[in-house]
Amino acid sequence: MCGITGIFDTREARPIAHPVLHRMNESQTHRGPDEGSLHLEPGVGLGHRRLSIIDVATGQQPLFNEDHSVVIVFNGEIYNYQELIPELQALGHVFRTKSDTEVIVHAWEAWGEDCVQRLRGMFAFALWDRNRQTFFMARDRLGVKPMHYAVLDDGMLLFGSELKSLLRHGGLRRDIDPRAVEQYFALGYVAEPDTIFRQARKLPPAHSLCKIGRASCRERV
């Protein structure tokens, strides 16, 4: 279990405040007590709390491709990553680690949004591709790994493994969703894509969210 969180500016490339992202990331320390790291650039901030399991020595996140144009934060495990490495190497990709995280990065470069069709495992991840000006989030088919997100009034998109990481940003409205309250009492939980707050959502299982340039976000099954 790891924890991921981040901020993406859907309108411009405004600076992301380091203290805010740090606060969001540290709220999930219990999910990843081994390491915590951040990546910031104009309009993008990614945070990761790591529980070291695969490639303990070199699997730190956020993790980049060869030229640092693609960066990812990932929670989960890709079961078929060792099978994908030779295929991606044959396409010219160079691996610097032995982690399943790097397989996702190169799979994105090779196959774009369809990379999720090649992954077998439990996962939630978010990546930023600077060359394509694309922000991409995805969740595994069964929804084993959580992913919450919200688009704030100022156009900032927040995401995190846990809802409380979004709350630590300080900009999320705390209006309670009556439908979510009804679901909780009827079912014992709040069903996707709802959360207890009107402004926040859960990315449903087997869904991705893609933001190209500063156009509107779109969800995809």
Q: Which residue numbers are catalytic? A: 2
DSSP state letters, 116-184: GGG--EEEEEEEEETTTTEEEEEE-TT--S--EEEE-TTSEEEEESSHHHHHTTS-S---B-HHHHHHH
Whether residue 178 contacts residue 126, with contact meaning beta carbons closer than 8 Å, is answered with: no
Tokens (6 digits) for 56: 């303990």
Tokens (6 digits) for 29: 């320390």
Q: In what order do the strands lie in the sheet with 63-64?
A: 63-64, 70-78, 121-129, 134-139, 208-212, 218-220
DSSP state of 33: B
Measured CA to CA, the distance from residue 18 to residue 15 in angstroms comes to 9
